Structure formats: C-alpha cells, structure tokens
Chains A and B, each alone.
Chain A
C-alpha cells in the first residue's frame, strides 16, 4: 500500500511540471499587460511601471521567470498579487474554506439523493418511477448550471420571499458580520443544490446502470437461485460491486467542484477559489491564477489518491502493488 501511494505520488510529478509549464505558456501568450491593469482606466506613471516590472522580474525572459517561480514554489512561496499587494497564500487561505464547505455540502447531497434514486430506479426497472428518474436526471445534466441557480434564486428568493423571509436570497458574507438574523448554514442551501444538481444526476445514472449490470451477472443469479431474498442479494452482493464506479465518479467530481464551481460561485457571489481565479484571469493577476491552479491540481491529486485507496474497502479483489484488476 505504501509503495503504491509512493508510486502514485511519483507519477504525479511529471503531470505537475506539465501543468506549471502549461501555465507559463499561457501566461506568455495571453495578451494584456498585468501591470497596466493595476491603475485601471487611469495611466500609471512610467517610473512606477518600470519599478513594478523590475521587482516582479517581468522584464526577464519567460524561462528565467519560470525558474524564479519554481524556486519560490519549492520554498513554499506562491508570490504576491499584482492587484492587491497581498500574498497569494493568504488569499487562498481565506477562500479555500468557502469552496471546500460548499463542495462538501454538494457532495453530501449528491451521495444521498444520487445513490438513493439510482438504486430505486434500478430495482424498479421500467416502472413509472424509473422513467421519471431517467428523464429528470437527463434534464438535470442538460440544464445550464448558471440558469438553474438563477431559477432557484428567482423562485425561493423572490416569488416565495414572504414565505421564506428572504432567507434564500441572503448573502453569505453579510452573515459573518456583526448583525445577522439567520444562521449561517441557510446560505449554503441554494448554492449547494445548484452545485450538486448535475453531479447527482450523473451519480444516479451511474448507480443505476452499474447496479443493473451487476444484477445481471452470474454470481448474483446464483445468489438468487440459492433462494436469498432480493434485499439481501442487493445489499450484500450487488451494491458493494456496483459502488466502485460511483465512488470513482464522486471522487473525480469532488475535484471538479474545486474549479468547476465558478459559475455557481458567480451566480451566488460565493467568495470561493474558482471565482477568484476567474477574476484573476480577467485581471491578468498571474500570481493568483498560477497559485490557484496549482492548488486545485494538488487537491484533485490528493482526492484521487484517497478515492483509489477507498476502493480497497469496497472491493477486496483489488490489491495494490500487483497489476490492477487481476482477479
């Protein structure tokens, strides 16, 4: 197991270097002068401009800049934002909890509702409820997330305002202030549902198809033939095997939520990292963009590793260190 983890970490190194090279390539070809952005519509005094360029090594060739950046990175320094004079690590230390909490809420919804509907739909195959689940999951994967978020805001925040007391349209950040009349968790409901919507539909679909496939296999048929009850077969045998791809998906999805939440964060003005990086791209604040992407890539790697390890808990057939999938 330890050797497996080590191997995975080593495998990650070239990907990580590839990502940093890709970032620097983008940085060198994206038009727009980050320093000019600092003063916005007003012009920056030439002397000040020169000084900022020099301090950030922006007058050096791009590979030298890469060298500086990687050297700082190895020392744990992600640099300082051009726009805000704030350390990138501090910015993300502030932002990351918001993203993480929202992702965890969404994942919880995804697991509970997604898996449950998937199972029900598979067991009651071809029933009315199955058709309903299939159709509604298809709709959920086809809806633009930002539009769904707006619909929810409109429905709960505006049309049902009197009923909900305006709770659902309230912002997160104001709640942290000195005056707040609603508990903090209320603010998570709509963004978490929005963020979870697509994923829970996929989870349900995968759960359903996997369960159907497993139920079709010989050993399950044998179990039925032995006269075990349907419930026992499904819980004891089928679910365990059918869960593996679902877990893979949820693991990957959690990683995707780290960055894929840009739209949800934008609609709900959630102060998360996706929104932060998006704004930084538009402002050409490269230290934030690079720090943010690197953060996401590392988090995704860790989550993937944990997912892989958790297979072992569900499928004893998978042994690490040996060739994967050998039975």
Chain B
C-alpha cells in the first residue's frame, strides 16, 4: 500500500510544482504533432526494459484471455474441488503435473495464478479508467473555469488527500461490501485526485498560450476548447500516470484481498492466494511465492513501461 501512497505522493509533488520538470515540457511544446508521437515511439523502442515490459504485459494478457481454452484441460480447474480427494491432493509440491504445486484444498496453483491474472488486469484497467475519467473531468473543470470551481474542487482534493488512503479504501469497501465489482469502484473512486491535479496544472499552463486565446477569440465553445485544444496537450502526462496507476491499482487490489476485503473466493486473486498461503509458509512456501512473483512481475512491467513512456514523451529528459 505504501507503494500506492508513495506513487501518489510523487505525482502530487510533481503536480504541486507547475514549474517542475514534468509539467513543463508539454507546456513548452506548443501543439503536439504527429512527429512528437513518432519520436516518442522511437525513443520508447530504444528503451530495452520498457520493450521487455511491454511484451510481458502482452504475454500475460494473452495467457489470461486464452485460459479457458487450455488451462482446465492441462492443469485442472482453478476453482472446482473434489472433497474426497482434497486431503490427499493438498499442498503437493511443484511437479510436472502441477508446475506450481497445489494449494491446501488440492487445486492447481498455476491454474489459479493464471486465472488470478484476469482479476488483477481487469482491476488495474477498469479502476484506472474510472479514476482517470473522474480526474480528467474534475481537473479540467477546475483549471478551465477557475474561480469557485477551482476552489471547490481543489479543497475536495485536499480533503481526499488528507484522508489516509488505505483506510479510505477499506472504509469504502465496508460501505460497498467485499467483492469483484466493488473493488473496481472503491479503487476507482478514490484514485482520481492525482490525475485531477496533473490535468489541472497542465491545463493551466496551456490555457495562457496564444492559440487558446485565438480559439477563444474565434468564438469556440468551452467544451470545444477543452476537448480539441487543451486535452490533447495533456494527454501525454495522462498516459504516463495512467500506466503507472495500473500497477498501483493492482497492488491495492492485492492488499485488499490479502486483508480479506477484496475479491472473494472461489474467484482466484493473487492477494487472496498469498493470504491463504501465509499459514503454510513453512510447509508449502510455493503457495505464497507463486502469486507473489506474479504480482511483482506484472506490476514491475507496468512500472517499467510507465518509466519508458515518461522518458519517451518527456522531451527534456532525452534532450
């Protein structure tokens, strides 16, 4: 959870300083052209770690999506249990038949890890989509209209940020009840503050540019100005933050499931699997090692890809 908070605080820090490194670059570049994105892609491809990360993510996505086609036949069901055999199949060490061993109820751990990827990826993507949308809307409102809108939204951001994040998510889940959809909602609803700040400061810089004034003078509507002129300029930072937030959303989900508040059985979730394995740390360490490594590599991939995107889109760093 600290990771989430720490990532937040970094974003917060950067967002707090409009003249700091990250906001600056998009602001100085007047209008992004096709070449900017092409250049960015070229730079990204040169970053070996980011490329590896990208392909790892693609790999996980493919495995997770195709799981129904082969996992039940090769490894066994991730959820079904035969209670008459449960005791004898319980906690078998890794073998050719069960590459990651079996859990205490006799299910194949590899099958559960693979199906767990579905949970983690969907939480990551959906929760971040929710928080990014809220963040963009509120951030744009605050920055573009200013005045009372700005004050209200920024005070709300302050309150949300002052409230201890993990306790907030736990309390939200207490309201909604544990479960798959509710985890999306809780993480999504509470993660918007950093994106809102990023968008706001990015827009504030763009707003004063000549071409915006020109568009205003030409009588363009507010919505049109925001959507056509301002947002595209902030899109680079949104992409970078969203990519990194996917990693922290996955971490948050695993922590919630670890505490028993997140995804509920029989749906396999990595965090839940670690918590189940905790009791058997000595007798069957693979129960906690396998899902842990899955979380680590997945989040690491999003972190490295996010870093790569940041460097690639950030003109100044590569300058």
Contacts and interface: CB of A to CB of B under 8 A. Distances in A.
**Are A and B in contact, CB atoms below 8 Å, in the complex?**
yes
Given A150-B281, A256-B5, A144 B300 contact: no
B13 A257 contact: no
A302 interface: no
Interface stretch (A1-9, A53-61, A178-186, A194-202): A194-202
B259 interface: yes
The secondary-structure label for the interface of chain A is: helix
Interface residues of A, number: 61
Nearest to B278: A150
29 contacts: A15-B162, A18-B162, A26-B171, A26-B174, A26-B175, A32-B174, A143-B296, A144-B3, A144-B254, A144-B255, A145-B3, A147-B274, A150-B274, A150-B292, A197-B2, A202-B6, A245-B13, A248-B16, A252-B9, A252-B13, A259-B164, A259-B166, A260-B2, A263-B255, A274-B164, A278-B259, A281-B170, A296-B164, A325-B17
Interface of A: 14-16, 18-19, 22, 26, 29-32, 135, 138-139, 141-147, 150-151, 153-154, 158, 195, 197-199, 202, 206, 209, 213, 245, 248-249, 252-253, 256-264, 266, 274, 277-278, 281-282, 289, 293, 296-297, 300-301, 325
Contacts of A16: 162
Given A206-B10, A256-B5, A278-B167, A18 B158 contact: yes
B100 to A, nearest CB: 16
A260 B165 contact: yes
Contact of B274 (A19, A26, A144, A213): A144
Contacts, number: 173
Contacts of B9: 202, 249, 252-253, 256
Given A154-B281, A256-B2, A296-B164, A14 B13 contact: no
Nearest to A205: B10
Nearest to B254: A144
B278 A30 contact: no
Given A15-B155, A18-B159, A144-B295, A245 B167 contact: no
Contacts of A277: 164, 167
A37 B19 CA distance: 52
B162 A300 contact: yes
B292 A147 contact: yes
Contacts of A143: 3, 295-296, 299
Interface in B117-135: none
B103 interface: no
Interface residues of B, number: 53
Which of B162, B175, B281 gathers most chain A CB within 10 Å?
Answer: B162
Contacts of B292: 144, 147, 150-151
Interface of B: 1-3, 5-7, 9-10, 12-13, 16-17, 19-21, 49, 155-156, 158-159, 162-167, 170-171, 174-175, 177, 247, 251, 254-255, 258-259, 271, 274, 278, 281-282, 285, 288, 292, 295-296, 299-300, 302-304, 307
A220 B197 CA distance: 31
B233 to A, nearest CB: 22
Nearest to B244: A141
A30 B168 CA distance: 12
A297 B13 contact: no
Contacts of B49: 135, 138
B220 to A, nearest CB: 32
A252 B16 CA distance: 12
